[in-house]
Every structure is written in structure tokens, then in C-alpha cells.
Chains A and B, each alone.
Chain A
Amino acid sequence: MSTIDPNSSAPESPEEAASSGTLIASIALKQRAGGIAVPAVTVVVAFLMGGLVVLATGHNPLLAYRDIFDGAGLNWIFHPTTNLVNTAAYNLSQTLLQTTTLILCGLAVAFAFRCGMFNIGGQGQYFVGLFVANWLGVDFAGLNPFLHVLLCIVAGTLAGALWAGIAGFLKATVGAHEVISTIMLNWIAIWVGSWLFGAGGPLQSSANKSLPVSNDIANSAKLPVIWGQQELQGLSIGIFVALAALVVFWVLLNRTTLGYEVRAVGFNPEAAAYGGINVKKNLIRAMAISGAFAGLAGTIDMTGYLYHYGQSDIPFSSVGFLGIAVALLGRNTAVGTGLGALLFGALLFGTTHGLTSNVIQPELAGNLTYIIQGLVVLFIGADVLILYVWNTRKKLRPRRARA
């Protein structure tokens, strides 16, 4: 704020500054300045605290983290090769497989966030996409491979959109809070899945009636694998779909009138309504687009490497929830979500295999990912608190000087 500008009024005091919008300005400035710094610090602190847990179990956290790093295949960058006999290359391909899912699940949270909503229902939307892809992938065997894959992807994505759209519709019409309704929809999806794959369920294997597992989808419905082998859970072209989704997300928000409406409603619904924007329509639409990303994640997983699904797999999937940490860490931006997904993808794969009990307590290994996930969400929630403390400190300074 320049002092020679006769039309700008300088704030008389910090309190006034706070009420006149300069506080908002300073938060925005800090968020922009700390665009990378704040999430980076968050991650470092989360890793430090995770390290303390490792230390408490009598192991060296540095060694544990090194092995996780290697286990995720990130050491591949030191010896790049596409030959999957190389352990690092294989590990990296598996990390990227997780990253693919997490990018899409992260976007599912981020998009709703930009419209001022908290989509906790990524998990349910993911399941719905996955179920539909499994059904179509199995039932339409023999279709032209390109059409078959396209059919699965389009239908799975739409299913996710529809599922989330229910929550958007309920919010727009009767004001049901999306946090509650998406959690409920998660449970509905989980139990529908349990029925679908359970004994006698519509998607249960026709070959083995005693197993609560589906048939494999037809080969024509499988995504081409670009790195590794189909039988060994190779990396499919799904990673490119996810990367393309990041671009779509950015373009949609920043270069289309739809994105303009989403952001206007997200920042200030009242001003949006005054501007002539239909707020209710936007709530439903943004929620549906969010769900489309999660549904796409489920479809890509099914057609990319899972191929079949079972009743017992359902409780072990938590990618939808990891997507929340990914989006929060990435500050709901495209680039941030991509990087956050890579981080959690690496953790997810790196902590679940290849670690030995002299490096880390076996019971801790897989759970370390979730400890770090929890800490990240906690710290990001604390952002606001940190800013609050920061501003209070400034206010108190004059008085403390005297004391």
C-alpha cells in the first residue's frame, strides 16, 4: 500500500487492518509465498514425527526412511533403466501405479474444495466406478478392445459422477451437508459391493461359486500395459489418463466459464448469486465432476491392473481417504495434487514390502503411511491456527514491549 496514493487509506491499527481485508490479503500472500514452503514444512515435520515413532520402537529412522525410499523405487533415478529385472525399476512402476489412483482421488477432493465443499465420499465414488467397470468388463467380453475400454471408462466415470451428484443434489435442494451425505454414500457403496461380490451376488465368479470374488474382466477391457507385464501387475497407460486429468482439472478451473463459476461459488456464494450465477446448479455439478474423478480412479484400477475384485478387498481399500491428504497437501491445485499423489504413492508402496525387521518394526511398516497421512491432515488443519497465533503475536507486541 503506497503512502502517496491519496485514495488508499492506510489501516490505522492492526485490528482495523484485520477487518479491512488486509488480513485476508496477508493470508493470501503467505499462502502464495508459502505455496511450496508450507506443504514442504508440513511434510518434513510429519516425517520427523513419524521418525520419532520409529525411534521409539528401537530402530534408526534414517535407515527406515532410506529403505522406504528404496522400496518405493525412488532410487531408480540414480540408475535409470526400463528393465524390470532391476528391482528399483519394478518398485517404481508399482509406486506409479499407486500414484495414478491417488492423483485421481486427490482431484476428486480438490475439485469439490474449489467449489467450497468437502467431498469425503471419494472412497464410495471410487468403488462405484470400480464395480461398474468390473461388470461391463466381464459382461461385454468380445467387444472391440478400444470400444470395450472406452465403454468401461465412460460408464465408470459417469457412475462416480452420479454417486457424488446425489450428495450435491441433496445439498442444493434440502441443504443436507455434503460431509454427512458423502460418508453415508460411502457406506452404501461398501455394502452394495459386499453384496455384489458375496456368495450368489450378481458379480460373483461364475466359475467358483464358493469364493466371494468376481470374474476377471475380459482381455478386451484391459488397459494396455506400458511398463512390465500384465500378469505381474505392470504399469498401464492409466498413468497418462491421470496426468491428463491433472491438465483437465487446471484447464477446467482456470480457462472455462464453468471453472469461473465453481471458483466464484467456492469463494463467495452470495457474490456469485448476485453475479447471476446459479449456485445450486454449481453445487450439484461440481460434486458430480468430483465424483467423476473418483469414479475414473476406480475404473482405471479395475481395467489397469486389478481385473477382478473380492468381498474381502473392500475393507482394505482406503485410496479415497488418502485422496483427502493428497488434495490438502497439494492445496487443491493441479501441480500440488500431482506431487502429493507421488509422495503418498511412494509411501504406500515403499512401506508395504521389502522392509526387514532389523530396519523397522514389521507391525509399524505399513501403518507408518497412515501415521504420516494423519499428521499431514492434522498440520494442514493447523494452518489456520498458525496464522491466528501469528497475528495475535503481532497484536500483543506493543504491550509486551512495555512489560
Chain B
Amino acid sequence: MNDEIVLEMRGIRKEFPGVLANDDVSLDVRRGEVHALLGENGAGKSTLMNILYGLYKPDAGEVLLRGRPSSFASARDAINAGIGMVHQHFMLIPVMTVAENIVLGIEPHHGLFLDEHGAEQRVRELSERFGLAVDPGALVSEITVGQEQRVEILKALYRNADILVLDEPTAVLTPQEAHELFGIINSLKTDGKSIIFISHKLNEVLEIADRITVLRRGKVIETVDAAGATEASLARAMVGREVLLRVEKAPAQPGDVLLSVEDLRVVDDRGIEKVRGVSFEVRAGEIVGVAGVDGNGQSELIDAIAGLRKTESGSVSIGGRKVTAASAREMLDAGLGHIPEDRQRRGLVLEFSIAENIELHDYARAPVARWGWLFPKKMIALARRLIREFDVRGGGPLTRAGGLSGGNQQKVVAAREIARDPKVLIAAQPTRGLDVGAIEYLHRRLVEERDKGRALLLISLELDEILSLADRILVVYEGEIVGEHTGEVSEEQIGLEMLGGKEKAAA
């Protein structure tokens, strides 16, 4: 890294109706530098990058590229100026090959025909130069997510990008894949490319970045060298107050078995067996974490326990009572609480008020109902109490759930499930898409519920979350439990098991 500044954004301001997304934001990126942009959801990171990429025009401020003021009317202009962007959601065409995707729009050709050989050749050269292992002839539909990301990076490199924006690149990767990505980033750096790394994960920012700019509420809080920063100092800058990063919890004191699953088999909608003979127990006062790459049967397992999907064979008991193949209603009555994976699709009726959502399981019971008759005032009073207890912000009992922020929506779901005093609480991806403040709250709350003697089953794709919360960890791979750990275990060990114990098939 040298001190040559390749990109400078000065005094950027961007306002959307009712929201000041960027307020006098300044940022400079040096040649051969990894510059992290850190901030919570809604801090203004994406807006800033969309301005850089020519998708928005700033209300004030300027962008200087290699010292010259530039403004891009479109993404095409930005690409031509050497800026590449890898979005969180990949934009590849699955039925085309890797090489075809990469050269799309600027294909080398012989007359009217695509020069497939030439295209593959160039792609191969690029991928070897930067250590981006991927087969140019493979169909995109047949490669892994991590490889798709490499294709996106190659796409930018093929267009001669020397400033590369990576938007939350590790969100979709396993720890191993993330590790490989960091290797790629380092080789790009050595080659003199500059990388803007957008993230809200503190540890990875500290690991990969040279400098870190923290955004909060559209403003730059600080730009620091990664060398001098700590997770705690960054979290403070990001949230604006002290944040407990590690969940503080006493050792678990497991009691009676409250949830017991025996040799459970479940098929998905297409009839494919996704849970293949799973057995485990969760005791009162412990959190059991289920780690695994997305799609290895976690969703089907939860649905089967919650009575939302029928089981092929095996049994489920809650509080010693066999409730296999029971309906959702019977499971709820047996003492199951369930914070579902997708709060918007399943956890809430977004068009319902908070009060109505809080009664989603108990709308037909006293005190809010009797003989089929609803008592809205009682509903509102109950909701008001839970809103206070769970610190739900952004509205009262009659506010539509859809109008709340993600964190507050999740608090409504958690409030409902916990207030029912369940014996067993399933928390599936409880903090997905939430920011540091809300995560801290939910984690603390889950540990509190454990200490009250509930049995918690935590399913998460975030290994960090499992490692910091769970007292016992089960690793699932292709519908089977392939590992069980109590006590200290390394992230690498679990990551390896998540991939079926095999050496990464991808690379």
C-alpha cells in the first residue's frame, strides 16, 4: 500500500423523503488498500456506494477519481471508469457458463459469433492471476455460492476495475469460504487494486481491512487504522454507546429433558427427505444450538417440531408428552414457543396491529376472547404491557406490525412467544438482518429465558451466534447430525463438519 489516493468522496449529502441518508460524508481510498465501510443497517453505506456507482446523484458533494472530479450518470459510466461492484445478491444467469456470464455485454467475437475459446482463455488468465479458482466452462447453476461470488469478482476484473466494492460479501459464505475470499482480497491488494469492503461484522473488518470508516445515521463517525482498533471501540462508534459483544452467561444448569426428538424423518415439499433420522434432547435451562449451512434440513426440522409439516417417522415429545404428528395448535398447547425463521412471512401478519399479532396464538382464549367474542380493549392493554416489557419502539398497540423496523418486529414476535411461558422455545435465525443493538437485546433475553428453566433450541446460520449462545452444539449436514460439542470448540472444526467433514469440495 502506498499513499496515492485513487478515490475521494467529499461532503456527500443525499436526502430521501424523510430520511437524511448521507450527511456530509467524506471518504478517501488509497491504492492497494482494503477500506472497510462499517455501520448498522440503515447507516447509509449502501446509499454512499450507490452514489459512487452512478445509481444516485448526490444532493451535494463531489466524487474525485484519481484527483479528477467525476460524476457518473449510470453504472456503465462507473464501470468504464474502473469501478466494479459485487452486490449481496448475485446477478448471474444460471443457464449460461461462467465464462459467458463474465464476458456478457463485451464479448470477444469472430464476426457474428461468440469467441468461446477466447472468452474462456481470458477468464482463465484472470482467475489464475488472482487465485480465483473457478471453472470457466461450468454452468452457473451448477457452482456453489462461494464460486458465484468469485464469478462476480471476475466480472468486475474483466472490465478492468481497479476499485472494487464488495457489499457484505461474507453474508452468504461458510467460514471456510470467507477465509478463501480473504485470500483473494489480499492478492487483489498486492496487485494494486483498491477494495471497499462493506460490512457490519466487526471481527472480519478487523481481520481484512487496512482502514475502517464507521458510519452512523448517515454521518462519518471516524476513519481509523485497523491496527489500532478493537471490536469494542468499533461497536461503540457504530452504535453510539457501549455494547456488550459477548453474551454474558453463567454455565448452564440443565434440568429435565423438555424436548426430545427421536429418529425423526421429514420430507420437503418435493418429497425429498431433508431430515434423515435425527435424534436429540434439549433439557430445561440449556441452549442447544444447531449449526449448519442453509438448506441442510434445518427448516424442515423446525417445521416438524412445530407441527407445521408432517413427519414421516420418528417421534417428538414436549415436556415428556408425545406430540408426534400433532397440529400446530396441539404443539402450542403442549408448551412450545417458536420464533420462526422468517418473521415477515410467517411470524407476523404485517397488516395486523401489534396487539392483534401478539394474540396470534391465543386470540380465542380468555382474557382477550370468550365464547368466540373478542375484547379489543383487553388485547390493547395486554399489548401495551408487552410493548413496555420488551421495549418495542416505533408504535403503540394499534400500529401496524408492517410499519415497524425489523428489530422491533422481531421483538414483537419474541414478546409473544416468551409471554406464553413455553417449556420449549425454538429460536430460528432470531437475529437475521438485525443490527447490533437489537441483537444484543435478543441474545440477552434468550439467555435470561434459559436461566428461567426453559429449554432453548437455537437454529442459526451465523456460527458466531451459535458459538456465543449455545451450551451444546449440534452440527447438521444433509439432514443428519454429524457432530455434537459441549464446551470449547473451534470455529474451524465446526465449519469443517458443516461441510460434511469433507475437505471443501468447492475449491
Asked if B363 is an interface residue, CB under 8 A from chain A, the answer is yes
Chain B residue numbers with a CB within 8 Å of A255 are 373-374, 376
Q: Is B394 on the interface with A (CB-CB < 8 A)? A: yes
Contact (Cβ within 8 A) A264 B372: no
Query: How far does the Cβ of A30 sit from chain B's closest Cβ, in whole Å?
Result: 13
Establish whether residues A267 and B369, one from each chain, have CB atoms under 8 Å apart when the complex forms. no
A402 touches B363 (CB 8 A): no
Q: How far is the CB of B421 from chain A (nearest CB, A)?
A: 16
Assuming A8-B405, A274-B340, is B57 touching A260 (CB within 8 A)?
A: no
Partner of A271, one of B360, B363, B405, B407: B360
Does B352 belong to the interface (CB within 8 Å)?
yes
A21-B402, A267-B349 are contacts. A16–B46 as well, Cβ < 8 Å?
yes
Does B438 interact with chain A (Cβ within 8 Å)?
Answer: yes
A274 touches B19 (CB 8 A): no
Q: Would you call A276 and B373 a contact (CB within 8 A)?
A: no
CB of A281, distance to nearest CB on chain B (Å): 11
List the B side residues contacting A264 at CB < 8 Å: 349, 352, 360
Q: A259: which B residues are within 8 A, CB to CB? A: 374
Q: In this assembly, does B60 line the interface, its C-beta being within 8 Å of a C-beta of chain A?
A: no
Is the pair B400, A271 in contact by a Cβ cutoff of 8 Å?
no
Complex contacts, B18 vs chain A, CB 8 Å: 1
Task: Assess the A276–B361 pair: CB atoms within 8 A.
Answer: yes
Contacts of A275 in B (CB 8 A): 328, 349, 360-361, 363
CB pair B44–A398 under 8 Å, yes or no, is: no
A271 touches B347 (CB 8 A): yes
CB-defined contacts of A273 to chain B, threshold 8 Å: 308, 328
A3-B217, A25-B402 are contacts. A267–B373 as well, Cβ < 8 Å? Answer: no
Binary contact readout A1-31 vs B (1 if CB under 8 angstroms, 0 otherwise): 1110111111111101100111011001000
- Are B405 and A7 in contact, with the CB atoms below 8 A? yes
Residues of B within 8 A of A16 (CB): 42, 46
Question: Contact at B21–A12, with CB atoms within 8 Å?
Answer: yes
| A263→B21 CA distance, assembly (Å) | 36
> Contact: B360 with A12, CB < 8 Å?
no
Inter-chain contact A13/B16, CB cutoff 8 Å: yes
- The docked-state distance in angstroms from the alpha carbon of A216 to that of B70 is 86
**Which of chain A's residues have a CB closer than 8 A to the CB of B349?**
263-264, 267-268, 271-272, 275
Interface string of B339-380 (1 = CB under 8 A from A): 010001111111110001001110110000100111010000
Interface size class of B (residues with CB under 8 A): 35 or more
What is the distance, in angstroms, from B423's C-beta to the closest C-beta of chain A?
A: 16
Q: Which residues of the partner chain A approach B344 to less than 8 Å between Cβ atoms?
A: 21
Evaluate contact between A25 and B400: CB separation under 8 angstroms: yes
Chain A positions 252-274 with a Cβ under 8 Å from a chain B Cβ:
254-261, 263-264, 267-268, 270-274
Complexed CA–CA distance, A274 and B348 (Å): 9
A401 within 8 A of B: yes
Name the A residues within 8 Å of B340 (CB-CB): 274
Q: Check: A399 CB closer than 8 A to any chain B CB.
A: yes
* A14 adjacent to B16 (CB under 8 Å): yes
**In contact, B56 and A13 (Cβ under 8 angstroms):** yes
The verdict on A256 contacting B372 (CB below 8 Å), with A274-B308, A276-B332 known, is yes
Point out the residues of chain A lying under 8 angstroms from B20, CB to CB: 3
B31 contacts partner chain A, Cβ-Cβ < 8 Å: no
* B276 CB, min distance to chain A CBs, angstroms: 25
Contact in complex: A260, B363 (CB < 8 Å): yes
Q: In the complex, A176→B40 CA distance in Å?
A: 46
Q: A267-B350, A273-B308 are in contact. Are A6 and B437 (CB under 8 A)?
A: yes
| Complex Cα spacing A8 to B240, Å | 14
B109 contacts partner chain A, Cβ-Cβ < 8 Å: no
Interface residue ranges of B387-437 to A (CB < 8 Å): 391, 393-394, 400, 402-408, 435, 437
Q: Provide the bound-state CA to CA distance between A268 and B351, in Å.
A: 9
B47 CB-CB contact with A under 8 Å: yes
Contact partner of B400 (CB less than 8 A), chosen from A7, A28, A394, A402, is A28
Q: Pick the contact of A9 from B57, B306, B407 — CB < 8 Å?
A: B407
- Taken together as a complex, chains A and B put the C-alpha atoms of A272 and B346 apart, in Å, by 8
For B16, what are the chain A residues with a Cβ–Cβ distance below 8 Å?
Answer: 11, 13-14, 17
B residues in contact with A21, CB < 8 Å: 344, 350, 402-404
Complex Cα gap A395–B402 (Å)? 21
Task: State the CA gap A277–B332 with chains docked (Å).
Answer: 11
With A7-B405, A8-B405, A272-B349 already in contact, 4 other A-B pairs whose C-beta atoms are closer than 8 Å? A25-B400, A25-B402, A257-B372, A260-B356
Which 4 residue pairs spanning A and B have beta carbons closest together?
A: A9-B42, A275-B360, A276-B329, A25-B403
